[in-house]
Amino acid sequence: MTPPSDASVSTALAARLASYRETTIAALGTIDLPAVARVIDKISEAWSEDRRVLVFGNGGSATTAAHLAEDLATYAIPFEEPRRLQVLSLADSPSVITALGNDLSFEDVFAEQVQQWARPGDVVIAMSGSGNSPNILAGVDRARKIGCCTVGLTGFDGGALRERVDIPLHVDVPAMQNAQDGHMVIVHLIIDGFRARVRGELHPDDAFDAGETGEAGAP
């Protein structure tokens, strides 16, 4: 059997990459921007009213949740501003996750942390590509019982999570990686909108340039 030539491998890879890119671009077009704006409103209210924002997910979604929490805690609010946003990613402590998973069950690892940290009126953001992860659903159910505003980032058909949250942020694509690509864009939409809202409140006389970019600590 003759091995494929370098040219054919390169052509096949290029076609695959182009297909992936087009699938992701199409998925991004399904993001509900008014729903994203509602989430920004809720986070802004949390900041104004000294409430908390809790975020969580499994696997790749855990890292996306951590990214959102980090940007909300640092990049979004000027460092000279004393009023901070109380935000916590519930997937970030291996010791807590393994203790709860060992002593109770893996299904309880987020619900028990929500019970510990959440208060009525807090914002709880859950991320699940399938929308059907039992520990994600349990965490959202606990948040709803406490009286939190719940948000769910989903892919595929949205699963049970899409129907259980107050604000669903759905990326309509039947592939996990492309759904997670969409979730990261949603995260940055939230950060950009919240950052603009914060600066508009702190400096109402200064027009905020929505195209402004930069790393944490930039003006």
What length is written for the chain? 219
Taking only the tens place, the pLDDT of each residue in 55-72 is 999 999 999 999 999 999
Angle at 71 between CA 178 and CA 89, to 5 degrees: 80
d(CA 123, CA 89): 12
Q: 32-202: what CATH class?
A: alpha beta
d(CA 195, CA 81): 13
pLDDT on residue 208: 52
In the structure, what pLDDT confidence band is assigned to residue 206 with cuts at 50, 70 and 90?
low
DSSP 16-73: HHHHHHHHHHHHHTT--HHHHHHHHHHHHHHHHTT-EEEEEESTHHHHHHHHHHHHHH
Rg (CA), the chain: 19
In the structure, what pLDDT confidence band is assigned to residue 4 with cuts at 50, 70 and 90?
low
Average pLDDT over residues 114-133: 98
- Helix, strand or coil, per DSSP, at residue 11: helix
In the structure, what pLDDT confidence band is assigned to residue 219 with cuts at 50, 70 and 90?
very low
Average pLDDT over residues 29-49: 98
pLDDT on residue 205: 76
- Let me know if 127 is exposed, middle or buried by CB neighbors in 10 A (0-12, 13-18, 19+): buried
